[in-house]
Amino acid sequence: MAFSMFLRAPACTSKLFSQQIMRIATQQAMKPVAAERMLSSVLPTQHTILKSNSPPILNAVRSFRTSPALLQEEKAHDHSKLWVIEKLTSAVLVPLIPICLILPNKMFDAALAILVTAHSFWGLEAIAVDYVRSSIFGPFIPKLAIALVYIISIATLGGLFYLISNDVGLSNAIKQLWSVKSKQVA
């Protein structure tokens, strides 16, 4: 995956880079003279860099800069903040679950319901995005998978809030589930 992302980078999609790759790929047999000539054309010496009219590959990569429009687009798809929120949610769940079981009330139950639903939503969404790809399943199935993730998450949150407001509460329901004993067969 890292290699494919490298190949999609703007430095690798330039015309000069693709010409060099095509030149390497279309050569029939690597003879020592041809290989030496190819290396001298790909990696020019210091003397030819100064006299060359076209920028060599190394300088083209070093001078690569993104435009402001591309920078704004990248920030819109920046998932580092979401990653931090996901990890904070997971970290908050660790003490919140025992607190909810020790001190059951509607406020802790609501916080637990929201965080558990968000945590499961992000996990299911990652599974749907990573494994249900349009290149494998076509354009419709991945959209359906994401829609199902949203439906499941909304139904889960609604069901948990219904349990909190109209029944015994989330913490007490968990305690009741744990207290159920199986019938012993005599």
Can you say which residues are annotated as belonging to the binding site? Answer: 119, 131
Cα 105 to Cα 84: distance, rounded to the nearest angstrom = 28
Q: Which residues are annotated binding-site positions for a ubiquinone?
A: 131
* Cβ atoms of residues 10 and 25 within 8 Å: no
Binding residues for heme b: 119
